[in-house]
Chains A and B, each alone.
Chain A
């Protein structure tokens, strides 16, 4: 029977001697979903994955896989397999023996091993490379072999620790989509660690943001991108402009915040806030525009600034401006300069629609 959550982590924590790698983390992964742990380097993502896979013993808390508490079990007794960042293929075995390794351990009949192995090589796009040695494969092919070696076992959960990190950008994008398609095809739970937000956005059904040994927040990719709950996430995902300030006035559905560069109105989003509270206002760079004169009316907010420079990036152009207090502001436009153009140092206003301001209290 399928359990609703294939991975359940409860108050999980890990200390390496005096180093606290993971505080206390709890989350659940729905069966058959693609779950991504995303966060900056050193945040504790790998630690979580290794605790789930059974490669480290937790200092506190529990891990349940498919409803069963596996906290005390070694990796080979858990219903999970792992794909590593690199160097994990057995260099003295060819592709076919690498992929068949786990099945051979289970003493399946030779014929069945061969059939399952061939089918899996076909699925990851490596048919015909059976006899190659790992050092004769490209980085991408090696990762495919690893994937095949894990998937062929038919476990319920696949753990992937930065499986694409050692590939070049183009290949990473391709394999990213492919991973997603393979996951949809086999229908098992993928738990994927990455520090690359584009990768996370591409594949995830749900993203958990991990930093400094804590789970900061967990949501669907779109929510994480559009309405992050914390200033940390807002700063980490996408290219958001964060303005610190404090609340001056609280209304039913808006608040007025005093920033160092001026006053702005921000939707309250039902948050419990009080006057004088420290808050952060986040505005996505693609929702900001630069104009010489601020538009009138309640629908827009603006702050005075001066132009710094513009950088053409191909698909988009980045416009950099500087607030009075020196804070850099980034506005992004598609293509090149459909808006006004400015000389460096020219005074201007950064403008956004009131509804696009995101109030963050954490």
Chain B
């Protein structure tokens, strides 16, 4: 590294940023348009927040937004612990391959096929449960969407956690056990702090996947709309109104903010912890207060 030319390094960065910029160009353009009073394609530009104001005055959209957030959080809460358990199981399993295939299966099934099969499955399940036991559990509603989301996001969370876990050495768990820790204490005090970055990234990833998901949500939701389904349906029914740009901009910005804040959090946290452990210098006051408060 020390001997490589500074220009090579700069060129690499330019290339990277260039690619990212090209990929993100449509997104940035959408955001740009969403603030233009004259809308898409107009040669004139006048900054406005009108479309956003419209959005936030629209009861339906606010409802959809609220549902989306709840659904995303519920999906994170269910998927991440389940994936963590699955990853732990995988590491201790004798026969890993069948389990791995089973876990990754949802990745290989196209979204619409999976959504359609789930739809049929839930319909039938509900029909028979209803006929035989009088139960109405699998009527299409938020939790059929929820189940669909869990099924779909689990492989991603599983793989992310597994990757961080693979750097973990089991000797540490064994050392903790031989120091007197129970299995839970060893996991929580020794293993978890080391796989925390993976767990957090999988939280963010699952959140974004669930937030952006359209096909499954649309087919399984049984009536209520999430933000994405609302946007798409709105587009299909009323065309590309400027509000659509505003909504799309919001989706993209939310995703980016989640990812960026996660990265910032992980970077600062690691440094903070290490300087605390070393006792070298005092950490910034704000950080100490955040830690205790």
Contacts and interface: CB of A to CB of B under 8 A. Distances in A.
Interface of A: 17, 53-55, 74-76, 80-82, 84, 86-94, 97, 101-102, 105-106, 131-133, 146, 149-150, 153, 159
Contacts of A89: 172, 175
B241 interface: no
Which secondary structure characterizes the binding site on chain B? helix
B277 interface: yes
14 contacts: A53-B178, A54-B178, A76-B181, A76-B182, A86-B171, A92-B277, A94-B279, A101-B179, A102-B181, A105-B179, A131-B280, A132-B278, A133-B277, A149-B175
Nearest to A17: B94
A53 B176 CA distance: 12
Interface string B254-280: 000000000000000000011001111
Contact of A102 (B94, B179, B183, B279): B179
Interface of A is mostly: loop
Given A76-B178, A131-B277, A87 B171 contact: yes
Interface in B157-193: 169, 171-172, 174-183, 185, 189-190, 193
B177 A74 contact: yes
A55 B189 CA distance: 19
B139 interface: no
B252 interface: no
A87 B172 contact: yes
B179 A88 contact: no
A248 B184 CA distance: 66
Given A75-B178, A84-B174, A133 B169 contact: no
Chain B contact patch, size range: 20 to 34
B215 interface: no
B194 interface: yes
A153 B279 contact: no
Nearest to B94: A17
Given A105-B185, A133-B278, A76 B175 contact: no
Contact of A82 (B174, B193, B277, B278): B174
